[in-house]
């Protein structure tokens, strides 16, 4: 693709732009390449408005552009490239020829985006506003719920599911804990909430329960009577980490009892798994949505551990050339209406041939064999 990139300064005698303004092309007709589509025009318009310029997105498909019209009233800075399937895409900014400030801005924009026009993959991790529960399948195509921080009126349960979802994980953990304590068991609560999930009230642990957050803590745990040890799972903990802790406890205490696995919630474990899968392939993590959202906080924590740079592009004008200077980009969208992935995805679609891939991890109960046999016998 790089060999097809063509940057030019063209002129128009028919297009007129007001002082202090610029026209951002939704499309334009190149003198030799013909029609050029500009999917990233919203991105350039956002940068122009942030710079204090009046920006209008216009179709310049009927505007005559030429490269030998130095006296023309309008100067058009362009860059274009060939699409693999045929046709052309690019960027174009038209400014008044006697407006030095607008000319300087337009030139900088085209010169800054041109070096990062390239073929790239975009991996999407989506956090929708409705979705998974511990007792039923998620809607197809919706892997992880969108989340906000826990608070007095939090719309999110401590396990990470929406408050309105029929996820019984938190109640199950509370009942299991109380049941074992009432039986006189020595109780541990295993797992640590993933960054950003709701917090389980401290009083829920009871006077006798002990938190065991890591396998190392499980190794060092003082157990008075191994035959009386029981566990409950912390809502919001990653199930994969819970399993590692339980492996240690079962080795040390073979008669360990505890909360049944069908009562565990996989929401945050799914989130961590899909983000980790995407980050291992990515040069950059782009984030749209509230920074305090658990999905965002978890992804940022994982990116820091993986050494992947992170950029908040909830506002489209925050997206810079350096942010997309890579072969693979992961976009985590935690906006309630999906606006983030639509806006950023469209911009990336105009900055080089892009492959857009949505990554999902969905865990949900498989019907038991007993239930399947009962249905078959009817």
The answer to which of 70-79, 198-207, 235-244, 252-261 has the lowest mean pLDDT is: 198-207
pLDDT, residue 153, reads 54
For the entire predicted model, the pTM comes to 0.83
Neighbours of 2 (CB within 10 A): 10
| Residue finishing a domain among 239, 263, 287 | 263
Residues 199 and 347 in one domain: no
Other C-beta atoms lying within 10 Å of the C-beta of residue 218: 23
* Contact predicate 122/357, CB 8 Å: yes
Same domain? 85 vs 226: no
Q: Which two tokens stand for residue 345?
A: 């995805």
How many domains does the structure of the chain reveal? 3
pLDDT digits (tens, 9 = 90+) for 106-163: 999 999 999 999 999 999 998 744 443 333 334 333 333 333 344 445 656 788 776 7
One domain, residues 124 and 97 = no
What sections of 191-334 are H helices per DSSP? 215-220, 239-252, 267-279, 294-306
Angle, vertex CA 320, rays to CA 147 and CA 76, nearest 5: 135
CA dist 186 and 136 (Å) reads 32
Query: Is the domain of 259 the same as that of 270?
Result: no
**Is the domain of 111 the same as that of 123?**
no
For residues 278 and 152, state if they share a domain: yes
Q: Which domain holds residue 50?
A: 2-115
Same domain, 289 and 372: yes
When the pLDDT of each residue in the chain is averaged and rounded to a whole number, the result is 87
Whichever domain contains 245, its CATH number is: 3.40.1010.20
């Amino acid at each position: 693709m790089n060999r097809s990139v063509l940057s030019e300064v063209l002129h128009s005698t028919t297009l007129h732009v007001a002082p202090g303004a610029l026209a951002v092309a939704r499309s334009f007709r190149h003198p030799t390449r013909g029609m050029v589509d500009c999917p990233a025009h919203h991105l350039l318009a956002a940068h122009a408005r942030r710079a204090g310029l009046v920006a209008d997105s216009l179709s310049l498909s009927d505007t005559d552009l030429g490269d030998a019209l130095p006296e023309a009233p309008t100067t058009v800075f362009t860059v274009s490239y060939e699409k693999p399937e045929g046709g052309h895409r690019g960027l174009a900014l038209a400014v008044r020829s006697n407006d030095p400030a607008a000319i300087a801005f337009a030139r900088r924009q085209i010169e800054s985006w041109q070096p990062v026009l390239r073929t790239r993959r975009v991996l999407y991790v989506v956090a929708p506003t409705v979705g998974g529960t511990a007792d039923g399948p998620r809607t197809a195509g919706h892997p992880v719920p969108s989340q906000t921080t826990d608070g007095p009126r939090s719309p999110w349960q401590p396990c990470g599911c929406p408050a309105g979802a029929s996820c019984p994980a938190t109640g199950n953990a509370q009942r299991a804990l109380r049941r074992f304590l009432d039986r006189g068991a020595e109780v541990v609560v295993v797992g640590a909430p993933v960054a950003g999930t709701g917090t389980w009230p401290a009083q829920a642990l009871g006077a006798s329960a002990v938190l065991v957050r890591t396998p190392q803590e499980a190794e060092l745990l003082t157990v008075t009577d191994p035959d009386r040890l029981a566990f409950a799972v912390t809502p919001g903990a990653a199930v994969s980490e819970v399993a590692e802790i339980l492996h240690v406890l079962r080795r040390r205490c073979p008669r360990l009892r505890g909360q049944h696995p069908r009562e565990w919630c996989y929401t945050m474990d799914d989130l961590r798994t899909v983000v980790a899968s995407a980050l291992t392939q990515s040069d950059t993590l782009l984030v749209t949505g509230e920074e305090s959202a658990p999905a965002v906080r978890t992804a940022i924590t994982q990116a820091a551990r993986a050494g992947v740079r992170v950029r908040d592009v909830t506002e489209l004008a925050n997206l810079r050339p350096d942010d997309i200077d890579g072969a693979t980009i992961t976009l985590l969208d935690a906006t309630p209406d999906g606006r983030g992935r639509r806006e950023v995805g469209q911009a990336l679609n105009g900055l080089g041939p892009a492959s857009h891939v949505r990554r999902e991890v969905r865990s949900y109960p498989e019907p038991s064999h007993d239930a399947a046999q009962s249905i078959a016998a009817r």
